[in-house]
Structures are given as structure tokens and as C-alpha cells.
Structure 1
Amino acid sequence: MQQQDKSETSNHIDQSAFHQSEVTSELTHLRPFNRSTIKLFKLDQKATHPDILLEKILSWTGAQPFLTQKVCQLLADSEALIPAGDEATRVQQLVQTRLINHWETQAASEHLKAIQESLVKNKQRDSLSLLRLYQQILYLGEVRADGGLLQAELLNLGLVVQQEDKLKVANRIYQSVFNQSWIDKELKRLQPLFKLNEKASRPDILQEEVLFWTSGQPFLTQKLCQLLANSETLIASGEEAAKVQQLVQTRLINHWEAQVASEHLKSIQQNLIKNKQCDPLSLLRAYQQILCLGEVPTDGSPVQAELINLGLVVQQEDKLKVANRIYQSVFNQSWIDRELVRLRPFSHNTIKSFKLDEKASRPDILLEEVLSWTNAQPFLTQKLCQLLAEFEGVIGAGEEATTVEQLVQTRLINHWETQAASEHLKSIQQGIVNNKQCDSRLLLQLYQQILYQREVSTDNSSLQAELVNLGLVVQQEDKLKISNRIYQSVFDLNWVTQELEKTILEFSPSKTTKTIQNKTVPESTSLKETNTISYPRKVIFISIWVFLGIVGLVFVGVNVMRFNLFGRAEPEVETLFREANELYHQGKSQEAITKYNEILNRDSNYYQAWTNRGYALGGLQKYNKMLESCSAATIIEPKAVYAWNCKGEASHNLKQYDQAIASFDEAIALDSKDPFFWINKTESLLAVKQTDKALAAIDEAIKLFAQMNENKTRNRDLSVAFSHKGKVLSQKQEYAEALKAYDQALTYNPDYYAAQRGRGIALQGLGQYEQATAQFNQMLNESKMPQAQKAETWYYLGLTLCQLSDQEKAFIAFEEALKLKSDYQAAHKAKMNCTASPR
């Protein structure tokens, strides 16, 4: 250690780029300020020539404020008077003994350590490159300024200064502390090639792969290289990427809390979620945005500055990005989601700012309810907190959710155009319907899809990026979701449908006309009665059986092809329509859609083509487009009964249940004798938990089916209807009656999966677990079910066995379900929750 210190000192003496003549010329401009410094530190009481003493100080510090102050203070604290001629010697001795030698424990240690850390653990630039550049400046004395990012960072750190068009080391103290010996040590520590030339045929490629993951972050680079150095096998050419990725995944990322970089990663995590400088929620949200978008513009905010300071992100030009792929993998969206859930109740800054502790006995719960609506969207959170702050009275324990929901509904959502957040919401509305970057119609369709499906996979398209940019949706891992419940309530499926209908009118202007090919439609004519095209129910049931049996969602397009042709269309169009219907009849939905499109290009008022096109789109599960197509049909012909049913089915599958019920009511008003309209309405009523109305609807369907002539199709229809009745009664928790309904369904069709499954669930509800187990085992042993139905049956069997406290068999059942459907989240969760506790 002594030898190392000695080399540092000698290095300072031998390689100093500063000469006294240069110092004197450079300090001429500082002399007007000498008197204040001399007076402040009473240097006139410490030296015969205090002005010369100050010049000697500045020759070492280069007028760097902290160092100048520190040396002056050390001189002021010294006891001896400095006579004329001794100024240089006394200052040098003081600088060497109190600042440079063993600098890590000396008077300027914190300042110097900060510079060292900023250089060797730089958040903006590759530390190796910075060191190399600094080494060049130190060795040559000066280099030409080129305006590069590395030079800018060294200037920002204060290690170098620019004089005219040259860069030089900022002062002799830095030059002595951060000397060549220090550089050699740091380069050795940071150099990624830990004998990698002995571990790989092409160590340069191996190094590139390391930096691909670490982006030069010193600790991670060192750790990963050490792992490579410790590996036993030689890495052949072409294997570099795979080897590095394997080590990164298995030794750094997977189960990172217990891996080799755990302390480093835990420190970042703790500094983020327990930050003392900024609100951790704000930090998480800002980091989430950067992670989601890939990069965001810098805005100079304290939150961005803190993320940079933590090392989680780096600035490249005027953009912020996640610092490296390892951080990106460890601190991913799942991690963010968990931390947001943990942090939300503890956002003390928000509670304090809006004095929520004065408004509620449990302000943390109150804020949690606020965030459950706003999802921490800044403007909405602020607005809702302000409304709560203005709320009269104290919110008691247990009243938080009700109070917040009431305020949200009455002051933000209902009649939102005139409410407290109207400007904010109108700007979002205009951003999507009058978008200047993307086709508004396509934006609406994409938003509709996300709204219905709850989430969609990211595809890096410009449409997705624009919705994220508007703030309507957020990215979580590789999924897009609606940003918050307020947006979801204001910009709901009804709103989307209305906006889409406005765009439909642009190419279907004859909203009120009732003519096709200039032939008038008689006002009194029922659409079901005239020129109806009807295909056998048997064929149609092939398509709906899957929906009812596997998914459990209604998609009863039983009369999908029963449409009217008023008047006489062009023979060629009629031929195309028949061909399109035949393609749909054969299950060739996409080809049918192409035909329907061809028809509509010829005659955009042909509402039957709009309707059938909608059903074909539904067969492809493109429910947003299905809704759009069937809505066009109802606009052109308000009495198009199956278009209303189609619109209802699309709305139901988009989980827009109120709109679905309204559409089915329109269909029923036009034809109250079609039982499938009543079944469809039953499903939508169940979705909104209107069980009494659902029971009345399904009883009406059963009555209508019973009035039909006895045949095989009628029996199958009744099986569907009674199965739906069992579902309604199960939701009402009337399990004994539900069991009767399911048994009735099975008398009409013993192989109907939905009824078999429902029977088992009803037995569970009655606590008859042995009988329920027998039901599910019978289904598995006797029924030839598709894979999805088998997985579901194993799942319900597992639930029943868990109720019987037969944990071992329950686990086997859940495992069988997961073998058939690896992403079966309900089975995963049920397996984890299943314990051996008694019933």
C-alpha cells in the first residue's frame, strides 16, 4: 500500500502538465476576486503576502470552488505564519499530506469519491471509453475539443475543462489523485477481458456479447466476465451469444434475489422503492413509461434525474433508455406491477398534499381506492384527490370505496363533457377521433379490441404506439391494457360504437332510406316474412356447439342466413350473395367475407351482406369488426332483425353487456317468437348479474322451443335452453333447482358437455362432493371431448377433490389440466390454493 501511494506521488511530480507560467496567465482573470477570498479565510493573518499565497492555492485547485475552499480552510486552521517565499512549499506540502496522499480518508474524500464513482460507474456513457479518453488527455496534456458525447461527459463531471478549442485536466489535484496508476487499476477492474482470451476462440466476440447484456455497467460486466472465466469449457466460435445468454439467465436474472448480482440489484430496488428524493410511485411510473416505450424524451424533471442517478436509465442525446438488458429483465413489468401494488397505500406525499389524513380516518385506504380508479394517472389522481379534499364531512372506516366511487361517477364520469375532468378527457377524445398521426377509424378499432379483450399483445405498430402516446392504454410486459377505470368508463364500448358508426356513415350515407337498387321497401313489411333465405338448423348448430360447449359464451347464430331480399337486386349481386352464403355455410368464413366485401363495393346499402359479413367476422372472433358490420346493417335498415341479433352477439363477446341487451331487445321487439334471441339475452343478463330477468328470459325460450314440432333438432335446442336455465339458477345459488334443470337438459341430449359440466358444478354447490367427483370422472371416462373441455373437466375435478381434502389427487387433476393447457391460470391458482384443510 505504501509503495502504491509513493508511485501516485511520483506520478504527480513527473507527469504534471501544469507549469507555473501557464497557471499565472490562466489566473489573471481571477485576481479581482482575490480580496474577498483572502478576507473570508483571513489569509492576510496567515501570510506576509496573502495574494501570492492565494495564487499558489489556485495553481493547485484551478479555482475549483470546493477544492479552493478546502485548501483555504486548511491554511486558515494552521498555526504557523507563512513568510514571504514559503508560499509554494507550504501549499504543496498541505495539498500532498491533507488531500492527495491516502485521499480516500482525507479532507476532500467525499468530493473526490463522487468524481471517481461518476467516472467508473457512469450512468450516461461507457465507463471504459471515458477512462480511455481521460487517460489520453492526462498523457498528452491536452486534446482538441470535438463536441463529442464522451468529452461532454468528462466536462460535466468536472474532471476536464475546455480552454479555447482544447480540453485539459481541470486541476493539479485531480491530476495527482486520478493519475496513471489509478487509471491502470480502474482499467484492470473494468476491463471485461478477465482472461477471456483463454476461455474463447474469439474473445473479442465474447466481449461484445457481454457488453450487449451489460451495456458496460461496471459491476455487471465484471460479474459476468468472472462467471465466464470460471466456466470450465472452451467457448467455440459461434457459441458466444448462446453461452453468455445462458449465464445471464441462469446466474443473474432467474431468481435474481439469490444470485451472484443480488446485492447490486437489491440496492437499486431499495433505492427506487424507498427513495428519499422523489415519490417512489412517480419514479416507478416514469421508469414504467421508459420500459414500455423503449425511450422517452428528457424533460429535466427531478424524477428523471433521480432515475439516472440510480443507474436504472441512461441518457443518450435527448432520450432516456433503460440502462441495460439485465436491468430490463429483472426490473420488468411484472416487478413493476408488484411494487405498485405494494407502494400504493403508502404514498404519504399525496396524502399530505391533499390533507387526506384530515378527510378520512384511514387515508391510506382512501388513496388506494382513488388509485384503483385512476391507476395513478397524474391528472385524474390529482383531480379526484382535490374533490375528496373539498368533500364535506369525514369519511369513516369502510366508507372509502363508496365515497370515491360516488365522486368518480357524479363528478367525473356521468355527463363527463361538463364535469371536473372535461378538458382532459376531451383532449383524449379529440386525440383519437381526429388523430393526425394515424387513421382514426383504425385507432378506434384497435382501442375497441383492447377494451373488449382486456389486453392485446404488443406488436410495435404505429397504431399501438399512438394509443400509448395518447395515454388511453399502457403497456405491461408484452400486453396493452386500458390505462384506468375512468377512461374505461368514459370511453366505453358504447362510445366506440357511436364513433365507429359516425365513420360508417361516411361510406353508407343512406341511413334513413329504405330502398335497395331503387326499389322501395314497404313500411309494413316484416323482414322475417319476405324472401327469407333459410339454411337448415343442423348446419348452424355445428358452429354454435363449440361456443356453448367449450367457451361457455353464447354465440347463437342459429338463423344467421335467414335474410330478406326486398325488391330485385342485380342478378350478378344476387349470385355473389348466394355464393358468399354458401362459403359461410361450408365454414369458409374468410372467403365469404371477401365475397361480401365485393357485394358491398357494388351496393353499400345491401344490409343483408353487412349482416352476414358480421356473422362471418364473428366466426373468426373478430368481434369489433363484427359489431361494426352489423351496426351498418341496422343503420341502413332499422327493421333488420338478425342484424340486431348480430349486433347483440358482437356486443356480448366484447363484454359490452348493456348494449348487447338493448340490441337483443330490438330483435325481440321485431320477432318475439325466436327463442334464440331470448337465449342470447339470457347470457347478457347473467353477465350483469340480473338473474331474475335472466330466469324469465330463459323460461320464455324454453316455452317457445316446447311449442315447436317434435324432432331431433328441437330436443337439442331444449338441451341448450335447460342448460342455460341451470346456469341461471346456479348463479342464484339455487343449486337443487339448477341440478334439476341440468338433468332435464341431459334427457334431451345426454352428451351435451355444458349440461354435464353444469351438473357437476351444481353438485359441488350442494356440498355433494362425492357425487360431483363421480360426475367429472364419468365425463373423462365416457365422453369424447376436445382437449379444451378435458382440461376444464380436470380442473373442476381438482376443485372437488380439494374440497374433499384429497390434496394428492387434486394436484394430479390440476396437473392433468395443465398438461392439456399449459397457460391455464385458473388451474395454476387453484393448485397453489389447495390445502389439506378440512371441509
Structure 2
Amino acid sequence: MSMSFPIKPLGQVLQQADLISTTQIEIALQEQTQAENIRIGQILALRGWLKQETADFFAEQWPTLLSQESKQPLGHYLKEAGLLNEHQIKTILYEQREMGLRFGELAVLKGWIKPTTISFFLQYLTSEGQPYQSSLEQEEVIDSNSSQILAESPNSELAVQQESNIRESNPNHKFVSSLSWIHQEITHLRPLIRSTIKLFKLDRKASCPEIVLQKVLSWTGAQPFLTQKLCQLICDSETFIPAGEEAARVEQLVQTRLIENWETQVAAEHLLAIRKGIVENQHCDPMLLLRLYQQVLLETEVPTHHNPVQTELLDLGLVVKQENKLRVANRIYQSVFNLGWVEQELERLRPFLNNIIKLFKLDQKASRPDILLEQVLSWTGGQPFLTQKLCQLVCDSETFIPAGEETAKVEQLVRTRLIGNWEHQAAAEHLRAIRQGLLKNQYCDSIWLLRLYQQILQQGEVSIHDNSPVQTELLNLGLVVQQENKLRVANRIYQSVFNPGWVEQELVRLQPFIQNTIKLFKLDEKACFPETLLQEVLSWTGGQPFLTQKLCQLICDSETFIPAGEEAVRVEQLVRTRLIENWENQAAAEHLQAIRQALVENRHCKPMWLLSLYQQILQQGEVSIQDSPTQTELLNLGLVVKQENKLRISNRIYQSVFNLDWVEQELAKWLQVSSSTITIPKSVSIKATPTITLFEVNNLIANHRGVIFKSIWILLAIAGLSIVSLNIFRNQQVKNLFQQGNELFHQGEYKKAIAKFDRLLNFDSNYYQAWTNRGYALAGLQEYNKMLESCSTATIIEPKAVYAWNCQGEALHNLKQNYEAISAFDKAIALDSQDPIFWINKTESLIELKQSDTALITIDEAINLLLQKIHKAGKVDEQQQTIRELSVAFSHKGKVLAQKQQYKEALAAYDQALIYDPRYFTAQRGRGLALQSLQQYKEAIAQFQQMLKDSRLTDAQQAETLYYMGLTFCKSSQIQDGFAALEAALKLKPDYQAAEEAKTNCSR
């Protein structure tokens, strides 16, 4: 006799199986009322919410299966329903033999099926007459029908309740996979859960706090920021969550407090940053990023290929890499940045994409017409007229564009046929109309329009102000567009034609300021050509109001008349004698004193940072905008201005008063470190230095960071032991395990150290120092993903754990997630800005991102802190440690300067590093490569030969040194010696590909 079940509507069955949501079924039912002869399953399949075979299975086979007495293995039904394919089933059956886990459990752990879907199948497919059983027990009954499916290993270390919590939670594949270490270290999940429950007091908020946390993680995919935000929302909620309501309550919070109107919710800043990272990406074409992300959404997973687009999408954190597949990182991202959002952004970026390709026959003009069109759009911003004109130019061209040449070809056409001499080119009429709309506008003062447009050019974007006629008119002209409540220049063609120089020229011609100023200060009575005279004034003041008025007043008060041709000389004479020389007692003294005080006594930024950045601008003429607090403060002071996405000195008067000598003098006051306090071997001389080329850096074998790493560990050990001494950890066994773990780490026994920390955490999972030190031990094994998880747990338990943030940054750096690494180091710096190690580590990530200007400021801060530290160091070993760290810091500075192609300065930095530690391999190598880059081959070879005399070098270091020595021989045409050195390198390291290539190139 078989068990009977009531027949339910298809939508209700699919909801119970957690295959569709309530909202989706409501939409489908509404659409069904408007379309005759279409089934609900077809609508769900057409919308992409369900496979058609899944809908058919539940509509046609499911009612029959419920009444059948004999049951097939679970995998059979999942395959029939289209929820698993043949390959996935074979994979699970194979891994069952290896891991001793149930079929359904492995399907969940791999992220292929939700736990709630497995529970649904088990509930209804249990044999007749079975009493009520847990999901695990039910699965065992069904699986017993197949010899292929194994029972769970009796040695599982998780309690049945814990396992049930995991299975009955509602994580999609992102959560389970993001905790990929469950496969290897399943026992570590329980301490993490327990720690988070305690931190956010979830045990006071729910009957089953573990299930609540699993529901949280099912939405956040264990992303730290989102997990903390959602747990905090639960903690702040006044309602208690009874058993059975965990999924509904968590989903309600997610939908109402995170997803709906997300731009004004608690995670807005985080989500806005991700959106901006996609649609305004500086490293990859946003369209390529959107296409790849769309593919991941549609296919659930995409095989990884190490290309820049996938790397960028991973760096943004929107997707994660699991089992060599890209998947969306979590359900919150998937809900916010859904297919509708992607399609909307693609439509914005690619107007009439396919039609344009066909219309202008771009598929006959290029190997990759879609890439070609994207390059066109990168110039036109999708503006219809310009897009058509540029596509027509491509179409009319007689040359075929092969793959890889799209960028160069399009730019050539733009510059020669649209921008250069634009008034006689293909888009002349269109561009003249915009110019006419700006300069002879019937609705707004042209001066106002030009000033606003100038501001947008200088700043990159300007915030929208409601009811602003000037902004509205500029939008109506099409010269700017609105994006994310900001005004930006509509495209690069407009930006090139109507550039800052053109705007300045038109402003000078139009603005009544010139005539008013001439009249106000009677300049027409003081010179033959008062307009020319005023232009000379502005060339010194940069239009700064106070300085302009002062200088005009000086001219007005002068008794001499300025004849034609002498305007420049007379103005310069007044500037130098009445404003710059002995400026503290001159006409602009109060104004200039205020700027100086704001620089050297700044309350918002460290004066040393401001001075260093200003010094850099003086030396280089300009610096790229990076929207850092230091740059913002310097702009606010008025000492610099933003022009064409660069920072430049505001005017020549500031540049003359606050010159390089003045900056160096002020920096010296800040540093106040006399070189006489540090012992420097007299035998070492400092020489000018070159840089390492990018090719050479990529071929390095060794990368020594041990000095930094050990110093951090020592500090962690001290911090941990001091807290133990304060009796925070009451258990003597915990204290012993912590000490034993530290000792094993120092001995290089990383696996044993981790085992000690794991035992400790079973006693006290809130011991965040153990989580942190465990992370460093994992680093010793180069298991950086696990290191990141361990250190992130420490920061969840104790957000002020400064070394845990540093540990997190180290892990992210090694995982090539440098933007996130910098964020972690910044948090460590915010907690303790006096520790130079954090600044050094941040510099490394900045170097990887090639943000050399910021890196230079950062490493200078580290050096400054170390120089201060060496004065305070009492013990000899502490002083020696600081000296070693100085060697590392100066070596980093050499690398930054090399990246900036400031080779002589880089050489000086490497020499300084070797003063502090003459045997520091990285500095020795950098010095040799710098000499090589300066084509000082003889000195470079001598450097490498000297390095080879060091008996402490490892085989890898010797091979690397021989490689560079051989390369230098080859570059200096000493082919035989080069071959010999490269052969010696290959004997030490037979798989040294760079040395093989160097041999081939050397013979040429």
C-alpha cells in the first residue's frame, strides 16, 4: 500500500522545492492571465527562472512518483528534474568514495543544489511506513537502494544537529563554495559560527542562532562587510526569531534593508563602489566586464581563463573563483546587479550595437567588429551623430583592421578626420552647433555655461543640483551627460575639441571681468595695451582673486607708464620686488602666511604628506589625480588646481614663494633626524642609481619579505602574551597552547603550529590572537586563501585587532587582490599610524598597482617613522631590527623610483638600503639592475660578481644573480661571458625559462 499525498498546484510545488520565489510565481501567474494556452511552467522557463525540463518533471512526473512504492536513488530524480547532469552525478559518486559523505550533502557542498531542495526531495520520496525522520536519515533510506551511494562516515566530527543546520539552511552555491575550506577542514566551521553568534548576540535574538547565521551566510556568501552588516541588523532588531522562521526573517531584512532601494540603505557605499568599478572601470572596457558578468549570471558558472577582464571582475569582488570556475560572489550582489541591471547598463554603453555593425558593414572591415565598435563608442560615448560619422569613416576606409589594431586605427581616424582642424572635417557642422549653443545661448549667460563646463573638465564630474538652469542647459546641448547624479563630459571627442585651452580662450574673450578690471584699476591709463598687461598679470596670479587685485593695485599705484612690448618685464619686476622677495613683509604677506600655516599646521592631514605631495608636483610639474585625502586637502588650500585630471601649482607666485628649497627646509623640520645618530660605514659610498625594467622585474625568482614578516610576528606574540597575562583567557591550557603554537612557528613547524592553534580555538573560539597567528602560520605554507579566512575571522571577533587587519592585507596581497589589500592596510594604519610595517606593506600593494606617486608618499612615511623609532630604540637587538627594516624600506623606495623611471634616484635609495644592511639581497639586486638600466654595464657586472661571493645565497638567488650578470654581459656585447653565466644559472635551476630565452636573444 502506497502513501498518498495531496496534489498541489505546480507553482506551490516549485516554491516548496525552493526552485522559484513567491515574487516569480506571482509574476508568472499574472502573465498567464494575459496569454491564452500557455502553461505556467513555460512562462517560468521563458523568463529564465527555471529549465523547461524541470518544469515538465514536476508537472508530469512528480504526481506519479509520489504514489510509487519503489524508489530510485536520489541522484536519479535530480537528473530527471534537470537539476544535475550526468557529469555532476559521476563527480559526486566518485567523491563519495573519497570523502564518505552522502550524495545530497556533496551536491550542496559543491553549490549545485540548495539544501532546502534536497530536503524537499527527501521528505516526499521516503518509503511508505517510515516514521518521521530527519533529512539526513531520510536520505540514507533512499540512498540504500543504490550500491553506488555511500552512507556517511561514522567518524564525522560535526554533531548531527550541526550537520542538520548546514543542510536545512538556505545557502546557494556561492556560500558553500566561498567557504571552500569546509572540504578539508570542516571542523573549523563551528568555531567561526560560534564566534560570530557571540559577537552579534544572535543567541539572544533567535531560538536557533546557528540556523540564523547559516541563513545570513546563504545571502552574503561570507563576504565580510555584508555579513557584518546583516548580523548587525539582526542584532539591532527588536523582534525575536522563533524556530522555523529563520529563512523568512533574514530574507525580509535582506530585501527591505539591503536590496530594495539599495542606494539609500546600509550597504549603499559598498554596492555603489562595486557599480562604479564596473561601469567606470579604468583598467578594462566596462562593456567587456558587463558581458562577462552577464555570462556568469546566465550560465551560473564560467570556466576561468587568466585574462584581464576576468581578473578585473575578480578584483572587484563581484565574482569568486571556485574549482576553476567564476561564480557570482553572493545572492545580494546577484539581486542588486541582476540581469535587468546588466541589460540596462549594456544598452547605455552600446546603442544599436548589432544594427550599427550591419548598417556600416563593420564585419567586412575588421576581424573583430564588436571590438572595433567598442573602440568607436569609447570615443563617441554613444552620441548618435558622432557614432555614425566615425563608423562611416571606418566603412569608407580601404584598409582591413586585423585583431589587436582596433584601438590604434580608430584613434588615427578620430584625430585626423574629426578632431584635427575640426572646423573643416566630417563633424564640423555638429560641433559648430554645440559651440554656437555655448557661446550665443538664448537661455543662459554664456560665461556661466563656460565656467560650469570648465569645472567639469577640471574635476572630471560635478554633482547635480536640482533646478539649476545652467546645468539643465548644458545637458540640453549634449555637451555633458548625467551619470549617477553627476555631470560628466559626454565623450572624448567633445573633450578634445572643447578642451581647457579653448574654454580659457573663450572666457577671456567673453567675460566682462577683463574690461571691469581694466576700468577698476585704471589700467588703460597705465599702459598702451591694457588687455595685454592684464594677461601678464593673470599669467602670474593664475586668476587667483586676491593676488590679481593686489598686483593690479600695485600697477595702479605705480607712477610709470608701460609702453607697448614692455608689459611682461614691468609686471615681472613688480611681482618679484613687491610680492615675492622678502614676501613676509610685502603686500600679500597675510594671504601667503595663511597658506603656509595651513600647510605646516594642518589638522586634517599630516603636514609631511602635504609637503611631500607638493614637493612631487613642484619636481614633476604635475601629478595624476587619485582622489586621496592629501590631494583633496591640497586642492582645498588653493595651492594647487585640477586641470585635465592632473594636479598643478595654482600660479607662479605660489611656485616662487613656496619653492623646492622652502619645502625641503620644512620637511627637515619635520624629520629632525640627524644622520650622525646612525652609524654608517665610511667605506660605503652613495652613487646615483637607475631602475629595474618591467621585463626584468617579471623574471625575478626570489622575493624576500622575511624581515617584515618576522617583526610582525614578534609584535603579535608580545600582544598575545600580554593579554594572556591580563587573565583575559582564564584557562591555563589555552595559554600553554598559544605559547606552544608560537614556538612551533618560530621553528618553521607551520603545520604543527596550526594544529596547536586549532586545539586552542576548540576551547575558546573568540581568541582572536590565535586566529591571527594561525593566519601567519598558513602563510608559511603559502595557503593564502585559508590565511585570509583565518585573519578575517579575527577581525570579525575584534574589529580593532590591528595585526589581524595587517594579516588580512598580507593575504590579499599574495592573492593579487591589491585594492582590497590596501583597504585592509589602511584599517591597520587607522588603528595604529605609528607602525612603519603597515606603511611598508601598503607600499608593496601600491607598487603592484603601479600607483607610484602614492607609493612614494607612503614609503617616505614609513622611513620617517623608522628614523624616529631608531632614536627611541633602547636595546641593541631592537635597534638592529629597526636598521634591518630601514634597509627594507629604502629598497622599496628604490623600486618605486625605478617604476617612475627615476633611475638615479632609485640607485641612491638602493645604496641607502645597503648602508643599513650591506648584505640585503633585494637591495643588492636592485642596485645591479639599476646600473644595468643606466647602461653602466661594468659597474653592474661588478655588483653581480660581488653578490656571488656571498656563501649565504640560496640556489635560486645564485641562479637569479647569474642570470642578470649574463644578461648584462650580453647587453655589453660580451657574448661568450654571457653564455657562460646563463649556463651556470641553468645548472642551478634547469627550468629557468628566462635564462633560456636570454641565451637565444644573446646569440642574436
Give your verdict on TM over 0.5: no
Q: TM-score, normalised by structure 1?
A: 0.37
Q: TM-score, normalised by structure 2?
A: 0.31
